[in-house]
Structure 1
């Protein structure tokens, strides 16, 4: 005889199209986890939104190790947002390393709504248009799908705004006067030599204050549980409904998701030098170095700092304490020659300035 209630649902079929929302999740999380504003895609839905719902945008990534050559310690894991920022900004063609310079702006990045306005307008037009098309067709699954996509984008931006505020709070710790104290705290005082190695053998080298070091090794606060819950509901509704809506709604949804995701992954619409609202980190010179030796020379290491890096195997040990004496002897001969030459040029420059 069967069960009439179950038979009523017999024609209903679930489509597997929702699985496409899982594609590109890691790349999306890496791109938006760098905490950078995008004037095009900030309010557009993206693929892989389940990572947003799980608040895995700034979780630490393994393989990023920080070496403080001036103070003689290392940190095996750096903050998740900074490791993702490095992925976006390191010179991929130069395995030796890239040198960066930290600076701070006295006026917060995009203060007000100048940059947010285009992103909000694009989001309203794209998401609103998708909802309108579905409603005009009488496609209520399409309306639910488009609404869930819009909610997911709003939740993602709310989470990112919270993390950016958290990062800015770390930057402004104990700062009462932004115009005088903040530049000194970030750029003044004693600058320590830092080397950060990545899982693919690349490296970032720079000198920064200890305040900066604390910022890039401190994890940001997690998102509020309510935001995560709403994000998960939106993701589930999207996964189920996109497979049930009309063909036109499906095509437009996939086109919007795909376009926004590609623009986000390739950092279109982003000033990649910014980190949060106050910090700006720029590559120096022509970018990366082909040899790690050349990258480390950019730091003008003291003998003590070079000794610390030797202990952490970021520089070869001296030839008398290892078996491969020929290789290390050649390295240190070249290293000492380059170091002496740089010090000689610096001395000559100082002498010319004093004479003038």
Structure 2
């Protein structure tokens, strides 16, 4: 019988490049997962690509304290859409003073402008990465530049699909109920915010995560 002995202290090796992909994962999750348009970070290469690949940006935040109190209908729930919970966490909310009114617009001109500016930023950054790696003769650098471009495009497509799904859900919710209700929200950091919004939008968008449709359907 052969006995296999393991050393008491096995040496560990840390892959620096692999470790780099995990840096800032929480920040990337909050930044991308809130589905807000940004003129700088929408298509720039970001670390923690696994957050987008695993669809973690759609998951609700796991911090206790986030809850909705529908004052008009007398309803309380903690099942809040992940994107809206992350948006609230990054919004400038002051203690017991913030009041928001949510409306459904037919077209968001500012979002289109942000997409154009973000695309220009992305083009400039990726060209700089390609040229730098090519001038240095770094084949791995060129490959990494291609990988960053691919992940940026994939992230943009995923986020855009979720934004479109949220827009569609908002229009559907507006058809279900246009009555504006008063809601009171508590955040994980103890802050509170009062939100006025159509009942259908609250149910379909703020309490339900976006469901992108299959393009083939």
Query: When the two structures are superposed, what TM-score results if normalisation uses the length of structure 1?
Result: 0.51
Structure 1 contact 55–223 (Cα < 8 Å) conserved: no
> 1:196 offset after TM fit, Å?
1.2
Structure 1: distance between partners of 2:208 and 2:14: 44
Query: Secondary structure of the equivalent of 1:199?
Result: coil
Within 5 Å, which residues of 2 pair with 1:1-356? Answer: 16-62=16-62, 63=64, 64-91=66-93, 94-96=94-96, 98-110=98-110, 114-173=113-172, 185=178, 189=179, 191-214=180-203, 215-221=205-211
Structure 1 contact 99–205 (Cα < 8 Å) conserved: yes
Query: When the two structures are superposed, what TM-score results if normalisation uses the length of structure 2?
Result: 0.81
Structure 2 contact 169–201 (Cα < 8 Å) conserved: no
Residue by residue over 1:202-254, the C-alpha shift from the partner in whole angstroms, topping out at 9 and shown as x without a partner, is 11212322112212101222698xxxxxxxxxxxxxxxxxxxxxxxxxxxxxx
The structure-2 alpha-carbon separation of the partners of 1:141 and 1:114, relative to structure 1 and needing over 3 Å to count, comes to same
Structure 2: distance between partners of 1:174 and 1:146: 42
Structure 1: distance between partners of 2:14 and 2:213: 32
Q: Which runs of 4+ in 1 moved over 6 A?
A: none
> 1:155 offset after TM fit, Å?
0.9
Structure 1 contact 135–143 (Cα < 8 Å) conserved: yes
> 1:66 offset after TM fit, Å?
0.9
> 1:30 offset after TM fit, Å?
0.5
The structure-2 alpha-carbon separation of the partners of 1:14 and 1:81, relative to structure 1 and needing over 3 Å to count, comes to closer
> 1:161 offset after TM fit, Å?
0.2
Structure 2: distance between partners of 1:218 and 1:195: 17
Query: Secondary structure of the equivalent of 1:129?
Result: helix
Structure 1 contact 197–203 (Cα < 8 Å) conserved: yes
Structure 2 contact 169–210 (Cα < 8 Å) conserved: no
Name 1:331's counterpart in structure 2: none
Q: Which has the larger radius of gyration?
A: 1
Query: Secondary structure of the equivalent of 1:172?
Result: helix
The structure-2 alpha-carbon separation of the partners of 1:174 and 1:20, relative to structure 1 and needing over 3 Å to count, comes to closer
The structure-2 alpha-carbon separation of the partners of 1:115 and 1:201, relative to structure 1 and needing over 3 Å to count, comes to closer
> 1:162 offset after TM fit, Å?
0.4
Higher helix share goes to which structure?
1
Residue by residue over 1:329-354, the C-alpha shift from the partner in whole angstroms, topping out at 9 and shown as x without a partner, is xxxxxxxxxxxxxxxxxxxxxxxxxx
Structure 1: distance between partners of 2:72 and 2:183: 8
Structure 1: distance between partners of 2:194 and 2:108: 26
Structure 1: distance between partners of 2:95 and 2:110: 33
**Runs of 5+ consecutive residues of structure 1 not aligned to the other structure:** 1-12, 176-180, 225-356
Structure 2: distance between partners of 1:18 and 1:174: 43
RMSD, aligned α-carbons: 2.6
